[in-house]
Amino acid sequence: MHWIKSLLWSGVATAAAQPTDGLYSLVKRRLPDHFDQFRFNLDANFGDNDGYDQFRVQSADNGTVLLHGNSISALSSGLHRYLTEIVHVDIYWFVGSRLGQAPSSLPRFDTPILGSSTVPWRYHFNTVTFSYTSAFWTWEEWELQLDWLALRGVNLPLASVGQEKIMVDVFQEIGLTGAEISTFLSGPAFLAWNRFGNIQGSWGGSLPQTWIDQQFGLSKKIVKRMVELRMTPVLPAFTGYVPMNTSRVLPNANIVRGSQWSGFSSQYSNDSFLQPFDDNFARIQNLFIGRQKAAYGNVSHIYTLDQYNENNPYSGDPGYLHNITRTTWHSLKEADPDAIWLMQGWLFYSSESFWTSERVEAYLSGVGKNSDMLILDLFSESMPQWRRTNSYYGKPWIWCQLHDYGGQMGLYGQIQNITQNATQARLESPSMVGYGLSPEGQEGNEVVYDMLLDQAWSSTPLDTESYFHAWVASRYSGCGSIPQELYKAWDLMRTTIYNNTNLTTTAVMRPVFVSRPQLSGLVGVAGSFGTVLTYDPLVLVWAWRLMYHAASSEPRLWSNPSYRHDMVDVTRQIMANAFTPLYLSLTSTYNNSDSTQASLSQKGTRMIQLLADIDSVLLTNKNFRLSTWIESARAWAGGDKKQESFFEYSARNQITLWGPDGEISDYAAKQWGGLLSSYYVPRWRIFVEYLKSTPAVSYNASMLQDRLLEFELKWQKKTWAETEPTGDAADLEIVLARVIQEWPSIFGHA
């Protein structure tokens, strides 16, 4: 592993005046009142585990906290251990930094805190996270995210923001016009799949140059901060996907069309792919990486490059596949002699029938030096590919937790898999070099992501019971004594909701109401995109009751942002679970020959009322509002009305139809206040009205779907001012009291 340690200490070592400056800046940002109470001592020779990170945290006699480590990542991880275990404060998604809850005098401790990583790399991001979650983030959101990553020991984050600027400049340099390039680039909420070569072009408008420039400016700040915190940013490389008219400027180039993707027409799919063994490929790779290095500096030698994400190669011949990777690898090494090619191993799972063992081995063998490639086993907790591929035939790889598809919102986890299975993989596979988080969207369940990153610092599987207890202690800091009900509630969820071992469902499940209404086929759907609950819904009601009544003994919880967020999230899940029996009751009544329009109307009204009440709960928190997503999209237009409309359309389309005509409809569905009232409720009203007006013997699924699509297409083109939900974001405590009274059976007669 000497190559890893060399890489960690190269490139970025001279980017700041002192290596610890970035870490001191983090403390000043998040703990300004305690800035002078921390001392960081970086010593590359600290510890005895060559290539791995180690730290020691101890108290000085004067109350100063002394941290020693052999890397900045080790020091930041040690800082996090001290803050969570001793001070009981932390920094979170959505909730933000709670480090300010630290007492004015930091607590002393007698026994030093020691830590040693079991792997050299801790990775974060899926390529599509940059569209599902952070498409419209500003620097404020990114700054919080990067501090979150640093404190959790992440030292290998993907840096995909703003790469379109480099791409456009390179394409223009080889002679393509702005119009030709414009037909290739996708809308702001869909750029991840453009980068993957899944889609080309944009529907609803064209990506403006102002967006490209602004995102590039943001990317410079992101990469600079990653470097300040001594992370190794994974930078983009040229994949081979080019605009359709590239043959005009490269008439003899070897260009083939990629496969169709997810039902999209050839106008938006079948991307043009410049074969890597064409001499132009290496030329463009040099231009791309050269421009990137000029923009960011010599900050990394690791490049992300995915050629066949859900897009099968032009040929399955092993010799062809070997030649593809061999020439791609050579193009990288020509542009950067120290280059390491990072790729997502998702293709070996998603296209398993194509990627036979022979083809996988042929493809990977094209990279003649194992240490020049790094593979993300993207779905290790459910569908690991490292065993099937013989540990990727010796290539270094990272055990990743996918967990979430499309930014779906639902309580879910597989804590045995991410502790026991991950540890077993590390012990069995010598080429496993890291743990990583690879969710398609960051939409909750933060505890399971924390747990995997902390597992990277434990040689044995973490004790989940003690881990959850400690997590709760930090999560709800600032409200005085934490009521025992909160510990009990989370422990109940630990053993059920977060402990799925039946992998008929392998990721966050979706509630029935976010699917397009139909008479059957919505309930009991298994798989990665299913509706099957992996726990008894009554268990979650018991946990909710404990959480709700915790505020009776400690009223200050109602002003705690963590508690408020979690109460909205758990309440949302309980009410979402309760929708299914109401829906089944309606469809059963409809199929009963003795049913009446009055009974259908009563059941339909009740079902829709539940959705309206879920909406009211969600509106109490900005992190659960459609308006937050839309306003962040529109803000990037800088007041340009045309761009505002396009950005909003792109934002709306991703979370609903996902394509101009609903090619991947509801894949990225969200449970957001305002989205229920303006989109899901009208769809279910259309469904109920259709049932009321159509006898069961005359039910026409196609006719119903046409009516729904007509509404959905109109909704895409509206603007937020037209669809703003009625009511306001009332106080959560008041709203919960009302919905409990309205739905006593759902909440266990609370």
According to the model, what pLDDT value does residue 11 have?
44
According to the model, what pLDDT value does residue 9 have?
45
Percent of the chain with pLDDT over 90: 92
Between CA 364 and CA 361 the distance in angstroms is 5
Query: Which string of DSSP letters, residue by residue, matches 17-39?
Result: SSTTHHHHHHHHHH-GGGGGGEE
**Burial class of residue 424 (count of CB atoms within 10 Å of its CB; 0-12, 13-18, 19+):** exposed
Percent of the chain with pLDDT over 70: 96
Domain boundaries of the chain, sorted by first residue: 2-116, 121-175+207-238+277-456, 501-534+560-742
For residue 528, give both structure tokens. 């990665």
In CATH, what number does 2-116 get?
3.30.379.10
- Average of per-residue pLDDT across 567-577: 98
- Residues 28-37: tens digit of each pLDDT: 999 999 999 9
C-alpha distances out from residue 651 to 161, 189, 384, 669, Å: 17, 6, 32, 12
Run of H or E including 67: strand 65-69
The phi-psi region of residue 297 (left if phi > 0; otherwise alpha if psi is between -120 and 50; otherwise beta) is left
Between CA 735 and CA 693 the distance in angstroms is 34
* Residue with token string 């779906």: 408
According to the model, what pLDDT value does residue 14 have?
44
What average pLDDT does the chain have?
95
- Average of per-residue pLDDT across 527-552: 94
Between CA 211 and CA 214 the distance in angstroms is 5
Between CA 636 and CA 552 the distance in angstroms is 43
Quick check: 42 and 19 in contact, CB under 8 A?
A: yes
- Residues 611-659: tens digit of each pLDDT: 999 999 999 999 999 999 999 999 999 999 999 999 999 999 999 999 9
According to the model, what pLDDT value does residue 4 have?
58
What's the pTM?
0.97
C-alpha distances out from residue 9 to 4, 33, 42, 278, 342, Å: 9, 31, 12, 35, 19
- Compute the chain's Rg from CA coordinates: 26
> Do the bridges between strand 272-274 and strand 255-257 make them parallel or antiparallel, or are there none, so unpaired?
antiparallel
Answer positive or negative: Cα dihedral of 663, 666, 669, 673. Answer: positive
Domain 121-175+207-238+277-456, CATH class in plain words: alpha beta
Between CA 657 and CA 669 the distance in angstroms is 9
Residue 217: phi and psi, rounded to 5, are: -60, -40
- Residues 219-260: tens digit of each pLDDT: 999 999 999 999 999 999 999 999 999 999 999 999 999 999
Comparing 10-19, 249-258, 284-293, which segment has the lowest mean pLDDT?
Answer: 10-19
Between CA 238 and CA 339 the distance in angstroms is 13
Between CA 707 and CA 658 the distance in angstroms is 18
According to the model, what pLDDT value does residue 530 have?
85
The model's confidence at residue 726, banded by pLDDT at 50, 70 and 90, is low
Which candidate, 157, 150, 159, 1, places its Cα nearest to that of 71? 150
Helices 732-742 & 597-618, crossing angle to 10 degrees?
Answer: 160
- Residues 471-508: tens digit of each pLDDT: 999 999 988 899 999 999 999 999 999 999 988 889 99
Comparing 86-90, 276-280, 463-467, 530-534, which segment has the lowest mean pLDDT?
Answer: 530-534
Tell the CATH superfamily of the 501-534+560-742 domain: N-acetyl-b-d-glucoasminidase (1.20.120.670)
Same fold, 121-175+207-238+277-456 and 501-534+560-742: no
Between CA 284 and CA 205 the distance in angstroms is 28
Sequence-ordered list of residues with C-beta below 8 angstroms from that of 317, at least 6 positions apart, any chain:
none
For residue 394, give both structure tokens. 């010796």
